[in-house]
Every structure is written in structure tokens, then in C-alpha cells.
Amino acid sequence: MVNKDITIFKNTTYAFQVRGQDSNGNPVDLSKADIKWSLNPVTKDVAKKNSGSVDENGVFTAGTLPGIVTVEASLGDVKGVARVNVVDSVDRLAFTESGILAVEPNVPKQLQLTAFTREGQPIVISSNAAQWSVTPSSVAAINQQGLLTPLGKGTGVVSAKVGNQQALFNFVSGQDAQLIDSYENRTASYYINGYVGGRCDISRAQARDGQHSLRVDYDYGAWSKVNNGTINIRMKETAKDSRYTSLIRPQKLGMWVYGDGKAPWLRAIIKDGNGNAYTINLASRINWVGWRYISADIPADIPTPITLDYFYMVETDKSKNLRGTVYFDDVRFIYLE
């Protein structure tokens, strides 16, 4: 069976695949099978020479004119057919990546497009189907295959046009990170809650950069052991400034942590552009003494902007009865690592 019916933009290629099954419905490996491929026009008013072609590996190349064809794969008496609708226009054009993209100078980035019909059906389209441009040209260059080459630091906009449809994409070049909090503002409102709880304050006892860090004291003596022992480290929502939210798509969340050698699991909660929460695992235990930089990946496919809600330590071993102190400094969204 050929994998699926498609709508495809003119002059675009698409690699069809086949899957097979035996009489009992079990999958059959067809990787070495002698599959024969053929093409049959369906739309009568489209000349065959303009309807496209399919090669011996099942790679279909759309023709120059719109129309409908069928791609057929056969193995002996068994056949599979996919219906292909070739179009020469799109009703909506977009980039596969959303949000503002961080790019590194002199490191090319291939941009990809998605296109849709008026009914919202996806259209297979290649990057070279579009007319590309970038402004300002002093920040980046782009070729007609959508390969963006940043030239220096700055912000820019990429334009891709297919017919009368245009998609715009914002990027920033050469920005490595966004500082969320360095704990140098001694009037900021931080607090602890959770099933263990604790206390926190701005401290001069330890500092990775600057003169202050956030000191967190915890004591398992306050833990009832009914639930996992959470120590939520928060800032009052009304006190958060714009640095807690990233309009640029971050790769990671990073921070410096001064460990006491025995503090528990460290995690963070972030929220996407739709308000959905995600848990980020930063360290399985804070089992080191002194400063250590840690970071964790942020899912690449969640809607921007991304906001740090709070981070927390959590103990799952209810036999433990510990107390200690941990310091945090230079919490950042990481764009380029």
C-alpha cells in the first residue's frame, strides 16, 4: 500500500513509501522488494508531459501545470495507489518554526516552509518554490533555497513569497542568552512554598556574579511525609519583569547553583505561549558542594513566548530528614550554546 494521498505544489518532489502486510495483518518487510512504479493522469485536460513523473524509487516530481494523477506501486499482482493533486497556488504560507529564532553568525540555517489549501489541507512544497529576501542585508544573507547565513549581530526579517502569499520570519543573530534573574535587586519579592517549604532571601554569603545570590534554606522537619517534599522557589507574579518571558525561542534554561552536597532533585516549571505548563529536569540531585552550572533542554516545538514560572527542589525519599542551604544565581534562557 502506498503511504498516502497528497496535495503538492508544482515542480516539487516527494518520496513515496510502501508498506505491506500478510493475510493475517502482520507487517511485511518490503525494503528489498522489486516494486514497480507508474504514473497515470486523472485530469483529462492536463497533458501527460505536464503531469509529473515517478522514478524507480518512488520519488514523484510534480509537473508544471495543476491536475490530478495517481501514483501506483505494484509487486506482482498486488497494487497500491496514491492520489496526487498538483497545484500551482497556495492559500496560506508559513514557516515550520514559530517565534523569534536565535541564530549564530556565520552558521547557516535552513528555513522550511509549510503551505495549505483554502480548506486547510497541507501542500507539499519545497523551499526553492518561494522567492526569498532578508532585511537588513547587513545582518544576514539568504539564497533561493531558503538557506539563511547570518553575517553579524542584530535582528532581521526573512520574507518568503509564493504567488500572492507571503510569510515573514523574525530572527536575532548573535544573542547567546537572556538573563532572567541575577538576584542583584534586593527589593524583589521571593518566597518559598510547598510540602517541605523553607525560607529564602537575597544573600551576600555566596555570589557567582555580582554581589548577591538567592539563598534557600530547607528543613525536612516541616515535612509531613504524606506527599513528595516540594520546596517551590517563587517570585511574586506582580514583581516579575519582562526578563522572565522570552520572545525568542530558547534552547535551554540554565542557572548557577551552589550546592550543599545533599539537596534533592531540582526542576523548573515553564509556560508556553498558550499558558500550558511544562516540567524541566535540571539535576537529579544537588549532590555537589560549591558552584556548578546546570542547564536543561526546553522543548523545541512548544508555542512562544516562553515564561519561567518557578523552579523547585523535590524529595521523593520519605525516609530522609535533612536540612541545608543552597544558593542560586544567574538564571538564564539560553539561545546559543
What is the CA 189 to chain-centroid distance, rounded?
32
3-state secondary structure 212-250: CEEEEEEEHHHCCCCCCEEEEEEECHHHCCHHHEECECC
CATH topology of domain 6-87: Immunoglobulin-like (2.60.40)
Residue 77 identity: D
Residues 6 or more apart whose Cβ sits within 8 Å of residue 67 = 41, 42, 43, 45, 46, 50, 51, 86
Task: Return d(Cα 118, Cα 31) in angstroms, integer.
Answer: 37
Kindly list the domain boundaries of the chain, sorted by start residue: 6-87, 96-114+129-173, 177-334
Residue 66 in grid coordinates: 495543476
- For cell 496560506, what's the residue? 92
Of the candidate ranges 109-118, 183-192, 225-234, the one whose mean pLDDT is the lowest? 183-192
Residues 6 or more apart whose Cβ sits within 8 Å of residue 319 = none
The answer to whether residue 219 scores a pLDDT higher than 70 is yes
The answer to whether residue 49 scores a pLDDT higher than 60 is no
- For cell 544567574, what's the residue? 330
For residue 49, the SS3 value is helix
Q: Quick count: other Cβ atoms within 10 Å of Cβ 82? A: 22
Query: What confidence score (pLDDT) does residue 65 get?
Result: 86
Residue 96 sits at the vertex; the CA angle it makes with 92 and 71, to the nearest 5 degrees, is: 70
The answer to whether residue 48 scores a pLDDT higher than 60 is no
Query: What confidence score (pLDDT) does residue 45 get?
Result: 57
* Contacts by residues 113-119 (CB-CB < 8 Å, ≥ 24 positions apart): 113/146, 113/160, 113/162, 113/167, 115/9, 115/90, 115/162, 115/165, 116/90, 116/91, 116/92, 117/7, 117/87, 117/90, 117/91, 118/91
- 250 vs 15, 99, 209, 333, CA distance in Å? 33, 10, 22, 6
| β-sheet bridge partners, residue 134 | 158
For residue 201, the SS3 value is strand
The answer to whether residue 25 scores a pLDDT higher than 70 is no
Query: What confidence score (pLDDT) does residue 46 get?
Result: 54
Q: How far apart are the first and last CA of the chain?
A: 44
Residue pLDDT, tens place only, 147-199 = 999 999 999 999 999 999 999 999 999 999 999 999 997 676 899 999 998 89
Residues 6 or more apart whose Cβ sits within 8 Å of residue 295 = 252, 253, 254, 255, 282, 334, 337
Class of domain 96-114+129-173: mainly beta
What is the CA 150 to chain-centroid distance, rounded?
20
Q: Say if domain 177-334 classifies as CATH 3.10.20.30.
A: no
Task: Return d(Cα 266, Cα 287) in angstroms, integer.
Answer: 11
> Do 6-87 and 96-114+129-173 show the same overall fold?
yes
User: What is the rounded average pLDDT for all residues in the chain?
Assistant: 91
Of the candidate ranges 28-42, 187-201, 273-287, the one whose mean pLDDT is the lowest? 28-42
When comparing pLDDT for 20 and 205, which is higher? 205
Average pLDDT over residues 79-100: 92
User: Alpha helix locations (H) across the chain?
Assistant: none
The model's pTM is: 0.78
Please tell me which of 83-87, 202-206, 241-245, 327-331 the model is most confident about, judged by mean pLDDT: 327-331
Task: Return d(Cα 40, Cα 53) in angstroms, integer.
Answer: 9
Name the DSSP letter for residue 128. G
C-alpha radius of gyration, the chain, whole number = 28
Beta strand pairing call for 131-135 and 109-110: unpaired
